[in-house]
Structure 1
Amino acid sequence: MPSPFNVAEDPWIPVRIRTDLAADERAELLRALPAAEEGRRCLVGLRTLFTTAHLIADLDLDHPPIESVLRRVLAAITTRVTGLDTGTGDDWLDKRDDALTTGRFTSKTVNAYFDEHAPRFGLHDTPRPFLQDPRLAEECTGVAPPGRLAMNRASGNNPVWGNHTPETMPLTMADAAGWLLAWHGYGPAGMGAVRTHSGRSTKSCKAGPYRCLISYFPHDPNSLFTTLIVSVPAPAAWPTNPGDDHAPWETDTLPDPLHPSAPAGLISLLTGRTSHATLLTPQEDHRQITGCRVAWGTATDLPTAIDPYVVDREKGGPLRADRTRAVFRDLDALLLKHRPGSKIAVRRPTVFDSIADLPPHTLTTLGIRALGWDQDKQDKNFGWYAATTPPVCHYLEERDPDGATALATLRAHTEATASDLYKALATAWHALNPRRKDDERAAFTTPAITRFYALAEPEFWKTAENPAQRPAFKRTAIAVFDTATASMATTVRTMDAVAKARAKLTNPSKRR
């Protein structure tokens, strides 16, 4: 009978191997991962991920919410195995530079870490299963089918939106490990299993800390090792609340769901904030998950904390995910400490505050990885998405203020053109539908604006790389307008209305 699944030892994380390995690196890859091939995808456990991170180009996950939480977990473990959990100021920056110069994680340190916490990385059949609460076996009523855990399946009365697999179909251990992460960060508000703890009995759950949000990570597409090192925010971004700064697998204490603790440092901030408690039910042969318990993990709102990977706003909380919004539209909110001209003050993710201090050869390879899930706080999901920018981190305000300002100006130019396009489309729609309600207009204008940004994005990056080139945003807007209104212009009257609206784009004097 197979032994219980262990996330440190068993393969479950999809990664893509580098394509530019040297001869000695190929030999090392063959020893560590005999079946792996350059440029191809393979699965690894956490221990192998860290010992071979310098041979891996990137993570290769299919589901952004899983990747989003996994990147936080990996950043926490990176902090531990590199000693970046101590030091401040220049000493900490020097320690980070030393790690980058080494070019790989030290196997002795990695192995020592995973050996120390080995029992806590077991997914089941252990007193403290990974990211689960064993108390649910006694505190919860009933066991839900596997579809409750897999967030892309229909479950209960929820509609199918991502996967038509029946909710009763078992999950592989590898898939279950990923969805545990997703529930840890993105669990919905609403009803879970009835849980009774210390006299409190309810099935009402709070929303997870990353639900509805978009996360941004510094990212080197050709070196997972570099990505992990630069994803560790500097100490100035760490919480300083009292208590021990431990990950759930590093402590003997289970969380108190009635009185959630504020994060005491970076590790607890990245790994300990969750509103849900979960517990898996495996088959007897340990190969699949046949059920799960998902219940409330906190009776109150989580203590306030600033996540280092989200854009924070003065009003309204962190920036929410929007599947129709191109990532480049928020680029200046990532490169500048404060976005100029914004009606609501926004603050870039704190992880980027120390990126400008990186060596030039590292900085110029870094882009930004964006991971979002467009959803509401309850249980409605509209779509998740992932995007990676070209290398742009060398334009950070501290390193290249003129470049950052130029990109902000270019972004504003794009937004202004989109605004003109919207006004032209709205004018045409109202001329032909004078008696219809404004809220019906969105069904016509929104797809067109979304298409404009999709077409404008390549032009944006092309212009960013060659500032002397004049962007063709206006020409793109006119093409989108013509496509959107083609079915309208069928009579002399409608052609005249469309032509007058089109003039708002083609004739500068009539733009306003």
Structure 2
Amino acid sequence: MPATVNILDEPLFPVRWSPDAGHSGGSRPARVGLRDLLVRSHEIESLAVPDAPAHSALLRILYALTARVTGLDEAKNGPDDWQLLREEILTEGRLPRTGIENYFARYRERFFLFDPRPEGRPWMQDPRLKEQCDASSTAGVNKLVVTRPAGNNHSWFRHTSDARPDLPTASDAVLNLLTWHYYGPSGRCSAREVGGVKSASAKAGPLRTSLSYHPEGDTLFETLLAGLVPPPREVDAERDLCPWEWDELPDPDGPPPALTGPCSRLTAASMHALLLIPEGDGDKVRDAYITWAYRTGRGTRPDDDYLIWQVSKQGNTYPRPASSNRALWRDLDALLLIDPPGVARPRRPAVFEWAADVSSELRVRALGFEQDGQAKDIQFVDAVTPPVLGFVEKRSVRTYPAVGRLRVLGERFGNRLDRALRRAWRTYVNDPKDSADAWAQEGAARYWPAAEREFWDRFALLDRTGTALDGGLDAVAARKAFLRLAVRAFDDVTASAARTQRGAKAVEEARIELFGDRRGKPAAPPDAA
């Protein structure tokens, strides 16, 4: 059976076209192949991948390919020369077609999604699984598609049956393949026998639980160039390999391949092995093997240029986890500042040190998957800011404290509101051990969306020239605004209880928490704060 569905040309990846795209007579299909993602990146506004972890994973694949076809995969003469080359490509206004065609001609055989030939190497898969795994105990397509329930798990987005599953398209399958490689769970998986030893335990994917941050331009072309980071001088492109560039598949009994540079870090850190089984000519996938890739894991989570890294109380470095309850603006100073405030000593993603040189009008897109470390999946996280990269530190010195102070003010009154509502509820029900989640959650639902609007309104007024004192932030007015939002949320949540004598007493005693004074002084009105 011949290899089928070459992802270079098959329209598998959803895109959103720029308004000017197609004026020269070109078509504007809803999906394109990997080749057109690069060749026409200047005509594409953005990827239109609906699932945040798949979007994040595909961006990393595209970053590596962009580095390869442009020569930005090395910086042997240092970052200054690397930046000059990137500026030349920006001036051209598109990725080099010759570089794209030469690269894909060299590796075309490695981009087939299905390749049953004896010498076949299906893209981002391990053909050895057909011999090393039990064919009667495959994972199935419901396990492959991360938004579906598999086995006895509860439904999430849709009801499915393992006995009669809806077969995913090749487009859905390749995106979920990537999600598994980057966000796959640890723990029990399908058994795989290597060297006479059978085991069924996988390590977690390199991005599991994390939230990654990507600079985003007006076109995919800008986005991809802004997402690159100059490699260290010692990186050798011939040794810094992507999985489809390996001469031989790695030994599952041995250690995972060394990550020697940006391309391998972006594409080769997976701890899972997968193999898709096509239905018919490959339009759909009827089954999948999903198992461990290496018996031993990596010593530490691979470094990643798109994560906020912070330090635990025990001194361990870990990426800021994805949280569907945390709005993106609350991470903004950790993205823009070299030394952002915080007891966790956050370190901004390395990509933001270099992205602003592409454009000061870049936005930030946050993509992640709220999960636990093993098998529990909770919710996708996908958010985007207005243009903010003009404020990145090294551009506008007076603005940095302003961004941080504005974020701190918004969070301060959100935290005070939470404390006040929990105190009011516990006093009202006369139970100091009650979790008090009911009022606290309702207050959060009222405060945080309003605080986000307030933050962005005031952020838009900050000085971009670096000349205004304190970045143009009116801290007194901002403090009053966030306090007013907290007071309004507190009053709305406690209104029903305040109609009773006991409730009114509990509410008024707790109100003092909004003003940060726990000594029992009478609360000042919001305008006096």
8 Å CA contact 1:233–1:354 kept in 2: the answer is: yes
1:455 and 2:450 equivalent?
A: yes
Kept in 2, the 8 Å contact 1:241–1:263? The answer is: no
Structure 2 unpaired stretches of 5+? 463-472, 525-529
Letter in 2 for 1:169: D
Q: Provide closer, same or farther for how the CA distance between residues 243 and 43 of structure 1 changes in structure 2, counting only shifts above 3 A.
A: closer
Q: Is structure 2 residue 123 aligned with structure 1 residue 123?
A: no
Residue 500 of structure 1, CA deviation: 3.1
- Could you list the structure 1 runs, at least 4 aligned residues long, displaced by more than 4 angstroms after superposition: 238-243, 506-512
Partner of 2:16: 16
State whether residues 16 and 56 of structure 1, in contact with CA within 8 Å, keep that contact through their aligned partners in structure 2: yes
Partner of 1:186: 183
Long gaps (5+) in structure 1: 37-41
- Which one has a larger percent helix, Structure 1 or Structure 2? 1
Matched, 1:157 2:152: yes
1:308 to 292, 305, 308: 305
CA contact (8 A) 1:2 1:285 kept: no
Q: Is 1:319 aligned with 2:325?
A: no
2:494 to 460, 485, 499: 485
Q: Check whether the contact 1:190–1:205 (CA below 8 A) recurs between aligned residues.
A: yes
Deviation at 1:403, TM superposition (A): 1.1
Who is 2:101 aligned against? Answer: 111
Instruction: Check if 1:274 corresponds to 2:270.
Output: yes
Tell me whether 1:196 sits opposite 2:196 in the alignment.
no
CA spacing shift, 1:401–1:450, aligned 2, 3 Å = farther
Secondary structure of residue in 2 paired with 1:114: helix
Note if 1:139 corresponds to 2:132.
Answer: yes
Tell me by how many angstroms 1:337 deviates: 1.7
- The change in CA–CA distance for 1:403 and 1:239 in structure 2 (over 3 A counts) is farther
Kindly indicate whether residue 414 of structure 2 is the aligned counterpart of residue 413 of structure 1.
Answer: no
Q: Which of 186, 204, 207 pairs up with 2:204?
A: 207
| Cα distance in structure 2, aligned partners of 1:239 and 1:335 | 28
Hey, what's the Cα distance between the residues in 1 that align with 2:523 and 2:408? 16
Instruction: Measure the CA separation in 2 of the matches of 1:490 and 1:381.
Output: 42
Q: Name the SS for the 2:190 alignment partner.
A: strand
CA distance in structure 1 between the aligned counterparts of 2:114 and 2:3, rounded to whole angstroms:
10
Report whether the alignment pairs 1:383 with 2:373: no
Deviations 1:413-457 (A, max 9, x none): 11111122122112211111222634x223431342254222211
**Equivalent residue, structure 1, for 2:91:** 101
Distance 1:205 1:350 in 2: 29
How far apart, CA to CA, are the structure 1 residues paired with 2:149 and 2:56?
A: 22
Q: Which structure 2 residues correspond to residues 321-400 of structure 1 after superposition, within 5 A?
A: 321-340=322-341, 342-356=342-356, 358=357, 362-400=358-396
**Greater alpha carbon shift after TM alignment, 474-483 vs 462-471:** 462-471
Give 1:476 deviation, angstroms: 1.4
* Percentage identity across paired residues of the two chains: 37
Match of 1:290 in 2: 286
Q: CA deviation at 1:307?
A: 0.5
**Alpha-carbon separation, structure 1, partners of 2:293 and 2:492:** 50
Contact kept, 8 Å, 1:104 with 1:225, in 2: the verdict is yes
CA distance in 2, matches of 1:95, 1:182: 32
Task: Report if aligned partners of 2:17, 2:28 keep a CA contact under 8 Å in 1.
Answer: no
- 60, 71, 87: which is aligned to 2:59? 71
TM-score by length of 2: 0.88
Task: Give TM-score scaled by structure 1 length.
Answer: 0.91
Distance in 1 of aligned mates of 2:166 and 2:287: 9
Say whether the 8 Å CA contact 1:144–1:291 is kept in structure 2: yes
Q: Residue deviations 1:395-414, cap 9 Å, x none?
A: 11111121122100101111
Contact map agreement 2:227 2:355 (CA 8 A) in 1: no
| Pairwise CA distance, 1:243 | 8.6
| Structure 1 residues 15 and 477: alpha-carbon distance in aligned structure 2, compared to 1, 3 A threshold | same
C-alpha spacing 1:511/1:116, structure 2 compared with 1 (3 Å): farther
Q: What's the counterpart of residue 58 of structure 1?
A: 46
CA distance change for structure 1 residues 131 and 443 in 2, over 3 Å: closer, same or farther?
Answer: farther
Contact 1:5 1:122 in 2 (8 A): yes
Q: Aligned pair in 2 of structure 1 residues 416, 511: CA closer, same or farther (>3 Å)?
A: farther
Q: Secondary structure at the match of 2:14?
A: strand
Contact 2:228/2:351, CA 8 A, preserved across alignment: yes
Instruction: Report the CA distance between 1:301 and its aligned residue.
Output: 2.0
More displaced 10-residue stretch of structure 1: 496-505 or 451-460: 496-505
Bigger mean CA offset, 483-492 vs 196-205: 483-492
Worse-matched range after superposition: 407-416 or 246-255: 246-255
Distance in structure 2 (CA, Å) of the matches to 1:157 and 1:380? 13
Q: In the superposition, relative to structure 1, how do residues 510 and 97 fare at CA in structure 2: closer, same or farther (>3 Å)?
A: farther
Q: Residue 181 of structure 1: CA displacement?
A: 0.4
* Residue identity matched to 1:86: E
Contact 1:504 / 1:510 at 8 angstroms: preserved in 2? no
- Alpha carbons of 1:98 and 1:507: their partners in 2 closer, same or farther (altered >3 Å)? closer
Q: Aligned-pair RMSD on alpha carbons?
A: 2.3
Kindly report which structure 2 residues correspond to 1:241-280, keeping only aligned pairs within 5 A, or say none. 244-258=239-253, 259-280=255-276
Q: Is the 8 A contact 2:279 2:285 kept in 1?
A: yes
Give the conservation status (yes or no) of the 8 Å contact 1:420–1:511.
no
Match of 1:234, SS?
A: coil
SS at match of 1:368: strand
What residue in structure 2 maps to residue 39 of structure 1? Answer: none
Contact 2:2 2:115 in 1 (8 A): no
Paired with 1:400 and 1:230, the residues of 2 have a C-alpha distance of 19
**Match for 2:482 among 467, 473, 481?**
473
The separation in 2 between residues aligned to 1:276 and 1:483, in whole angstroms, is 49
Whether the 8 Å contact between 1:213 and 1:320 is mirrored in structure 2 is yes
Partner Cα distance (1:335, 1:435) in 2: 43
Distance 1:429 1:2, change over 3 A: farther
Letter in 2 for 1:496: K
Whole-angstrom CA distance in 2 between matches of 1:46 and 1:195? 31
Cα 1:242–1:176 change in 2 (3 A) is: closer
Q: Measured at CA, do residues 447 and 80 of structure 1 come closer, stay the same or move farther in structure 2, by a change above 3 Å?
A: farther
Aligned partner (choices 230, 237, 250) of residue 234 of structure 1: 230
Separation (CA, whole Å) in 1 of partners of 2:153 and 2:191: 18
Instruction: Tell me, in whole angstroms, the C-alpha distance in 2 between the residues paired with 1:53 and 1:297.
Output: 33
Q: Which amino acid aligns with 2:44?
A: I
Deviates more, 1:74-83 or 1:252-261: 252-261
